Amino acid sequence: MRTDLRPPGVLLFTSATPSLIAASEGEGGFHAPSITDFFPPAILFEGTPFQIDRIWIIRVLATVVLLSVFIVAARRAKLVPGRFQNVIELILDFVRVQVAEQILGKNDAKKFLPMLTTIFLTILAFNLTGLVPGLNLAGSSRIGLPIVLALWVFATYWWVGISKHGLGTYLKNNLFPPGIPPFVYLIVTPIELLQILIIRPASLAIRLAANMIAGHIMLVLCFAATHFFFLEAAPAMKALGFLSLAGGFAFTAFELLVAGLQAYIFALLAAVYISLSLEEEH
């Protein structure tokens, strides 16, 4: 007979992850999180390119919520803003001032502000789903979404550079930096080519996904350990459950910070790469 071992409050933040499901279904022992947490079973269309799983649903929900918030904010906008409108305007002003205008200047910032704002808000919303009870996975923790956003940035800074300078001048500015001896170009030019083709977009995607994966694993590790210490460990070890539970809440607060920080870094680097493409030479 199956006995439900799920204590109130412990699995709240880690529900529906494979590691905790195994523990709650009575398999016993400590079940550490693994990479399989990010590849949940298919819900619909299994084995097809249109397979729908839990992360897919999380992304859809985050998108709907994000769009709903801003539609409501736009429809309720007033000359004298209330608290809700103030929060929305604060977020938008943060991207405009601290990212777009600071890196690109006021003139160029206007052109790219919609893109940078979309990137920031999308990543922020998808990152925060990892802290929502019942969802518990960041929509950005699987590499597909970060790759799509990174390719958007990649296509934009190439398009901007070629549009302003022409293909030849753009490549010359990037591949042959001025002020260095010509023979050094044998080393520098391949590195610069790799940077604008691979390193920039790859670093954007990998940094975002890796941080969200690491955060999820740490949270599940803490709460899975809490579950084990409280319900399965020897009496002498049960007190350790309070330490792992405290660690879980501490990592939850830290992940909240990381969610915002990663959205900021991604948008900031996107602005930096666009700015480099706009420069005459660097």
Per-residue pLDDT band for 17 (boundaries 50, 70, 90) equals low
Question: According to the model, what pLDDT value does residue 113 have?
Answer: 95
| Phi, psi (rounded to 5 degrees) for 143 | -65, -20
Q: Within 13 Å and on the Cβ side, how many CA atoms surround 165? A: 20
d(CA 70, CA 141): 24
The pLDDT of residue 1 is above 50:
no
CA distance 238 to 244: 10
Residue 74's pLDDT band (cuts 50, 70, 90): confident
- The sign of the torsion formed by the CA atoms of 93, 99, 105, 109 equals negative
pLDDT tens digits for range 218-266: 998 888 888 888 887 778 788 888 898 898 899 999 999 999 999 999 9
Q: What is the pLDDT of residues 20-65, one digit of tens each?
A: 544 445 455 566 777 887 888 888 888 787 888 889 999 999 999 9
Q: What is the average pLDDT score of the chain?
A: 85
**What three-state secondary structure class fits 52?**
strand
Mention every residue, 6+ apart, whose C-beta is less than 8 A from residue 55.
38, 40, 137, 139, 141, 142
Q: In this structure, which long-range contacts are made by residues 108-111, counting pairs with CB atoms below 8 Å and at least 24 apart in sequence? A: 108/274, 108/275, 108/278
Q: In the prediction, which pLDDT does 27 show?
A: 55
Higher-confidence position of 179 and 20: 179
Which of 26, 220, 253 shows the shortest CA–CA distance to 137?
220
54 compared with 178, residue with greater pLDDT: 54
Question: Tell me: the pLDDT tens digits for 196-226?
Answer: 999 999 999 999 999 999 998 999 888 888 8
Q: Which residue has the higher pLDDT, 18 or 213?
A: 213
> What is the distance of C-alpha 240 from the center of its chain?
32
Q: Give the pLDDT of residue 29.
A: 59
Report whether 220 contacts 248 (CB < 8 A). Answer: no
Per-residue pLDDT tens for 5-16?
A: 343 333 433 444
Among 47-56, 139-148, 166-175, the range scoring the smallest mean pLDDT is 47-56
**Prediction pTM value:** 0.85
pLDDT at 13: 37
